[in-house]
Amino acid sequence: MDAITVEALTKRYGDTLAVDNIAFAVAPGATIGLLGGNGAGKTTTISMLLGLLVPTAGRITVLGHDMATDRFAALARMNFSSPYVALPHRLTVGENLRVYAHLYNIRHTERRIAELADQLNLGALLNRPAGELSAGQKTRVALAKSLINRPDVLLLDEPTASLDPDTGDLVRTWLERYRAESGCAILLASHNMAEVERLCDHVLMMKQGRIVDRGSPADLLERYGRDTLEAVFLDIARGTGEAA
Amino acid sequence: MIPAGRRIWGLMYRHIALYRRSWPRLLELAYWPTLQMCIWGFTASFFAGRTGSAAAVTIGGLLGAVLLWEVALRSQMGVAISFLEEIWSRNLGHVFVSPLRPWELVAALIAMSILRTLAGVLPAVLLAWLLYAFNMFSLGPALILFTINLMVMGWWVSLGVVSLILRHGAGAEALAWSVLFGITPFAAVFYPVSILPPYLQPVALALPAAHVFEGMRAVLAGSAFPWGELAAASGLNLLWLAAATLLFARQFHAARVRGALLSIGE
């Protein structure tokens, strides 16, 4: 059974078609990249997968649960990270993680927080207010929050945006390790093409709310006759290239 | 702890941790009720000095009204401001993608409202006793029943405010502070319903608070326990609470349709 199944998914805001009849599936242990320019429909798609947004049409199933009728059962086994959604700034890192450990009903809260602190090098930050952290530290904390419930499905919206190369690499390495250890399915929306090439087994290219192409990074490079995924992305975004 | 209880506690813990780290927030809780108590206490003393034998009832009536109305105000603000704290910290996206159900969110906000009300009103109750020898607990068991009714009124008003914030975004947040002040003239807090013009009296009688304060004045005047007023207040609260819950559920769903849960602070 696929971890995520999306069928004929559509989202319309008045006259604007934000997501137009898309379909895809994510197998357990796979990482799928969701690529596209600004306004392509990536964040709208992720919001619908998380139950934050009600689709106009179509069906989403996560871990066997229909998100229209049974989303809380799925949400307990999912998680999400985005640099555009903050954690309360006045609370310390430890307090923030404790809040989410309660919300996800995690047993042995302190042990889980200590594990994550150890794995993501957060030990020295646990007693610092979240608002006083650097962008890189905040991203690591957000990642710790998104892993607090050992999710089977992880949705990441630009997880390494505004990170320096070192911290970005640390995050990517950690995601590879977590996926290998847990069999978690990951859906990754990113503008970092090198990151997508490194992490993703399969890529969905979105434009104006539609999936206009899909395939493994190697397939796409070959089909468009390009050396980098960034060149493929530009071909699709600008309509300057065609797949062979 | 059962999962729902754990999630409710999780959200309460988030707010308690915030108050532990922010003394201005703690001060703000007690500041206004204490200030109101001082102003109305001295005003009541002044007028009571001129009314002779009615002095005790005048002071008691005004101070009781001030304290009980603060219960409703603090209770309403407790829910609305706790919800606004999530918007201000841009944390709603994380909260709503967790398994926290909307009713659990409301339960956590109500639990925080009870804590905030106790922290805000108890210092004023103590001050009323120290400065004016007014013992709020002289109302006896009626105090508990009146207090519960006013807290419930605060909750359904705040559910209405939260619904408006979900519908109109941060532009509606000023209502979190002002909405009950707007109701005050019709709530018969400081004067009987009969003082109002006849065309406004039905408005007052549709509010649970008017029945609570009519009952409070009856108790302070030594009349029989006003079971009728209490029943009217409780019945109206149930009706208004049901309507506000329906409104909240509809606006929450509408916010999910519009995609407002992530952008609500803007």
Judge whether A10 and A165 are in contact, CB under 8 Å. Answer: no
In chain B, helix, strand, coil percent, each to 5?
A: 85, 0, 15
Q: Which residues of B touch A87 (CB under 8 A)?
A: 89, 91, 94
**pLDDT at residue B257, rounded to an integer:** 94
Distance CA B93, CA B87 (A): 9
A69-105 residue pLDDT tens = 999 999 999 999 987 788 899 999 999 999 999 999 9
* Contact flag A105-B258 (C-beta cutoff 8 Å): no
Judge whether B18 and A88 are in contact, CB under 8 Å. Answer: yes
Judge whether A46 and A205 are in contact, CB under 8 Å. Answer: no
Q: Which residues of A touch B257 (CB under 8 A)?
A: 53-54
Using the Cβ of A17 and the Cβ atoms of chain B, whether some distance falls under 8 Å is answered with: no
**pLDDT at residue B47, rounded to an integer:** 76
Distance (Å) of CA B19 to CA A141, B35, B89, B115: 22, 21, 14, 11
Q: How close A13 comes to chain B (CA, Å)? A: 7
* Contact flag B98-A95 (C-beta cutoff 8 Å): no
**pLDDT at residue A229, rounded to an integer:** 87
- Kindly state the greatest CA–CA separation across chain B: 63
Third-level CATH fold of A4-77+151-238: Rossmann fold (3.40.50)
The domain segmentation of chain A, as residue ranges, is 4-77+151-238, 89-150
Nearest CA in chain A to B96: A52
Q: How close A99 comes to chain B (CA, Å)? A: 5
Angle A48-A49-A54 (CA atoms, 0-180°, nearest 5)?
A: 30
Reading chain B (266 residues) residue by residue, the pLDDT tens digits are 788 999 999 999 999 999 988 888 889 888 989 998 888 888 877 877 776 655 666 677 888 888 899 999 999 999 999 999 988 888 888 899 999 999 999 999 999 999 999 999 999 999 888 988 888 888 788 888 999 999 999 999 999 999 999 998 878 888 888 889 899 999 999 899 999 999 999 999 999 999 999 998 888 888 888 899 999 999 999 999 999 999 999 999 999 999 888 777 54
Distance CA A237, CA A197 (A): 17
Among the ranges A161-175, A229-243, B17-31, which has the highest mean pLDDT value? Answer: B17-31
Angle B23-A94-A179 (CA atoms, 0-180°, nearest 5)?
A: 150
Distance CA B130, CA A2 (A): 68
Of A82, A85, A105, the CB nearest to B6: A105
Distance CA B251, CA B257 (A): 10
Distance CA B160, CA B158 (A): 5
Judge whether A141 and A93 are in contact, CB under 8 Å. Answer: yes
Using the Cβ of B3 and the Cβ atoms of chain A, whether some distance falls under 8 Å is answered with: yes
ipTM of the assembly?
Answer: 0.89
Residue B31's region, left for phi above 0, alpha for psi from -120 to 50, else beta, is alpha
A96-155 residue pLDDT tens = 999 999 999 999 999 999 999 998 889 999 999 999 998 888 888 999 999 999 999 999
Q: Which residues of A touch B98 (CB under 8 A)?
A: 75, 100, 103-104
Distance CA A96, CA A77 (A): 19
**pLDDT at residue B131, rounded to an integer:** 87
Q: Is the dihedral of CA B170, B110, B108, B74 positive or negative?
A: positive
Distance CA A13, CA B256 (A): 12
Q: Which residues of B touch A85 (CB under 8 A)?
A: 90-91, 93-94, 262
For tokens 């988030």, name the residue.
B14
Tokens at B124, concatenated? 């004023």
Instruction: With a cut of 90, say whether residue A183 has pLDDT above it.
Output: yes
**pLDDT at residue A123, rounded to an integer:** 92
DSSP single-letter state for residue A149:
T
**pLDDT at residue B186, rounded to an integer:** 93
